[in-house]
């Protein structure tokens, strides 16, 4: 039995195969697209797992923020009880650049965070608000823009 001979297609050299593909957008196209003129002022970080593991993941982030070259404070609003002065020291944070604030009376952590952001004396205000609805998020964003600050909400769970 004979099989008909089918000529094999020649393989394109790698460079030619690359050129045969549609090109990605050119730099000019990317540059001409409108960019959001205002920087993002709100970020949210969600950490799940054992409390100790979450704190170990959080430590380098807070350490970096506490060493920020901005002359303003890193402010922590109503942090969890496990974030003690001892933990801050052991995690290597610059405690001279950190304010730990707790709401008083009928003031909520959300209200205190907005006030701290609006005043602009902190480069970053860290909160532990959970759940955080869209209205609360918008309030934090507006206050952060007013005070030229960053808002970071951390969800531990």
Q: Flag whether pLDDT at 63 surpasses 70.
A: yes
Which pairs with CB-CB distance under 8 Å and at least 24 residues apart come from 86-91? Answer: 87/55, 88/62, 91/55, 91/59, 91/62, 91/63
Mean pLDDT throughout 64-92? Answer: 93
Own/partner pairs, 12-15, CB within 8 angstroms, 24+ separation: none
Residue 144's pLDDT band (boundaries 50, 70, 90)? Answer: very high
134 or 52, which is more confident: 134
Q: Is the whole model's pTM more than 0.85, yes or no?
A: no
**Average pLDDT of the segment spanning 105-128:** 97
Which is it for strands 150-156 and 122-127: parallel, antiparallel or unpaired? parallel
For 95-107, the DSSP string reads GGGEEEE---TT-
Q: Is the pLDDT of residue 3 over 90?
A: no
Summarised one tens digit per residue, pLDDT across range 19-48 is 555 555 555 555 555 556 667 999 999 999
The most distant pair of C-alpha atoms in the chain lies apart, rounded to whole Å, by 95
């Amino acid at each position: 039995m004979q099989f008909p001979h089918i000529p094999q297609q020649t393989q394109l050299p790698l460079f030619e195969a690359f050129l045969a593909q549609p090109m990605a957008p050119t730099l000019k196209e990317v540059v001409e697209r409108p960019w959001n003129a205002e920087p993002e002022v709100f970020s949210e970080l969600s950490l799940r797992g054992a409390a100790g593991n979450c704190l170990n993941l959080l430590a380098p982030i807070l350490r970096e923020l506490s060493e920020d070259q901005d002359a303003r404070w890193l402010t922590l609003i109503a942090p969890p009880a496990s974030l003690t002065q001892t933990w801050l020291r052991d995690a290597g944070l610059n405690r001279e650049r950190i304010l730990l604030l707790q709401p008083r009376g009928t003031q909520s952590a959300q209200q205190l965070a907005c006030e701290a952001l609006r005043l602009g004396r902190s480069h970053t205000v860290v909160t532990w608000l959970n759940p955080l609805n869209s209205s609360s998020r918008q309030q934090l964003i507006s206050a952060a823009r007013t005070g030229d600050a960053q808002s970071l909400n951390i969800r531990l769970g």
